Amino acid sequence: MAVRFQCKCGKKFKTTDDKIGKKILCTACGAAIIVPESDTVEVEDVSSSASSLASDLLKVASATSRKKADEDLPEEKPRSMADDVTDAGIDIAKQIVPAIAVITLLCVVVYYLSASVMKSGPKHPPLGNVSGVITFNGAPLPNAEVVFRPVMGDQEGAQAASIGVTNDQGEYTVDYVMNVKGAAVGVHRVEVRARDENGRERIPPEYNVQTTLNFEVKEGSNQADFAITLQ
């Protein structure tokens, strides 16, 4: 008994009933076709293509190259939702993984650059630690700003000033820059400023804008006490 059917591309076939439920390759488009249980095309439609059946079978044999024309094709398992989700996950991973690799590489580069900068440390001149006590008319001066400005002749101001703030006991310690304590080694002009509750300067100008205070910072620890008096 023969079964007559056709591919979705329009190619018509005729085969024996022992192929029912099996798959064959379409010789026209290469699609896999499951042989139906009964005819799906009219007998006269198939008869017109019977003369080309032998050549079609030869094309199938050539296309597969590893199987005979009448050999059954392996059954293809129906795809499940899990298969679709897995394939989608693989596609997404193929897009994300390269981006993650680039980000990881950039993080590594930034880390090593930062480590190199931290290891070498900021560039600054030789420093000496400076601390002291500021009094005003014999009493400790709290919340006063103490500024050490390097004096370098024509290059005055080329190095950074160091700044400290007094506590309630009038004690202070100056910082060269943030997290770096001390002042540049050498002679400094010292300025002291303190404001009252109304925001007015309490300290005479000869101790700040017109300061006459000087101090030479040396390497190591330096004690710089200043007594300010109001005339």
Supply the pLDDT for residue 186.
Answer: 94
Q: What values do phi and psi take at 108, rounded to 5?
A: -65, -45
> β-strand 183-184 against 127-136: which pairing, if any?
antiparallel
The reported pTM is 0.47
Within 10 angstroms of residue 171's Cβ, the number of other Cβ atoms is 16
Residue bearing the bigger pLDDT, 223 or 71? 223
Residues 225, 198 contacting (CB under 8 angstroms): no
List CB contacts of 48: < 8 A, sequence separation 6 or more.
12
The two tokens of residue 16 are 């024996």
List CB contacts of 158: < 8 A, sequence separation 6 or more.
150, 152
For residue 210, the SS3 value is: coil
For residues 177 and 184, give the distance between their C-alpha atoms in angstroms, rounded to a whole number: 11
Nearest alpha-carbon partner for 72 in 132, 22, 130, 7: 22
Over 50: is that where the pLDDT of 230 sits? yes
Supply the pLDDT for residue 177.
Answer: 87
Rg from Cα positions in the chain: 47
Model confidence pLDDT, tens digit, residues 61-76:
666 655 554 555 455 5
Mean pLDDT of 105-131: 72
Cite the DSSP H helix spans in the chain: 43-47, 53-64, 81-120
Give 127's pLDDT tier (boundaries 50, 70, 90).
very high
User: Euclidean distance between the first and final Cα of the chain, in Å?
Assistant: 130
The amino acid present at 130, given as its one-letter code, is V
Ranges of each domain in the chain: 2-64, 78-121, 127-228
Q: In the predicted model, what is the mean pLDDT of the chain?
A: 78
Mean pLDDT of 190-215: 92
Mean pLDDT of 51-56: 55
Over 80: is that where the pLDDT of 198 sits? yes
Supply the pLDDT for residue 69.
Answer: 45
Model confidence pLDDT, tens digit, residues 133-157:
999 999 999 999 999 999 975 444 4
Give 4's pLDDT tier (boundaries 50, 70, 90).
confident
Q: Going by CATH, does the domain composed of 127-228 fall within 2.60.40.10?
A: yes
Which range is least confidently modeled, 20-29, 192-201, 212-221?
Answer: 20-29
List CB contacts of 165: < 8 A, sequence separation 6 or more.
143, 144, 145, 146, 172
Mean pLDDT of 165-179: 94
Residue with tokens 């560039």: 123
Percent of the chain with pLDDT over 70: 65
Which range is least confidently modeled, 40-54, 72-86, 91-105, 200-214?
Answer: 40-54
Residues 7, 27 contacting (CB under 8 angstroms): no
